Amino acid sequence: MSVTESCTEGPVTPLPSRETLTAAGEILRALAAPVRIAIVLQLQESERCVHELVGALDVTQPLISQHLRILKAAGVVHGERHGREVMYRLADDHLAHIVVDAVAHAQEGRSTP
C-alpha cells in the first residue's frame, strides 16, 4: 500500500478544532477519579450541597470540597450560594451521560466471563 492509499474506504471524519479537543480532554481528566464520578452520579439526580455529598459518599468534607474545586474548574459543575450553603449542580446533561455510559461500560466488562 502506498502512502497516498487509505486503509479504509469512505470519507475521513473531520476533527473538531484543537481547542475543542483540549477542552474535551480537560473534562475527561476532571472526571478521572472515582469520587468525582460518584459526585457526578449524585448530581445527576438533583443539586446537592457539600454536606449531602459527604453523607452520600461517606468521604470527608475536605476531600469532597477538593474534588468539587476540580470539577468546577473544568466546567463540570456549577455552585450557587443559598444562604450559608453552596448548592452544586451539573453544568449540563451531557456530563451525566458521559459518566453513566462509562459506568455502564465498566459494569458490562465485569459481567463477561
Closest by alpha carbon to 87, among 49, 61, 58?
49
Question: Residue 2: its pLDDT value, please?
Answer: 53
Low-confidence ranges of the chain (pLDDT < 50): none
**14 vs 11, 28, 30, CA distance in Å?**
9, 21, 26
Residues ≥6 apart with Cβ < 8 Å to 56: 42, 48
Question: Residue 9: its pLDDT value, please?
Answer: 76
Q: What is the pTM of this model?
A: 0.84
CATH topology of domain 18-111: Arc Repressor Mutant, subunit A (1.10.10)
Question: Residue 10: its pLDDT value, please?
Answer: 76
Question: Residue 113: its pLDDT value, please?
Answer: 54
Question: Residue 111: its pLDDT value, please?
Answer: 63
Residues ≥6 apart with Cβ < 8 Å to 86: 49, 50, 79, 80
Bridge partner list, 48: 88
Q: Where are the domains of the chain?
A: 18-111
Question: Residue 13: its pLDDT value, please?
Answer: 87
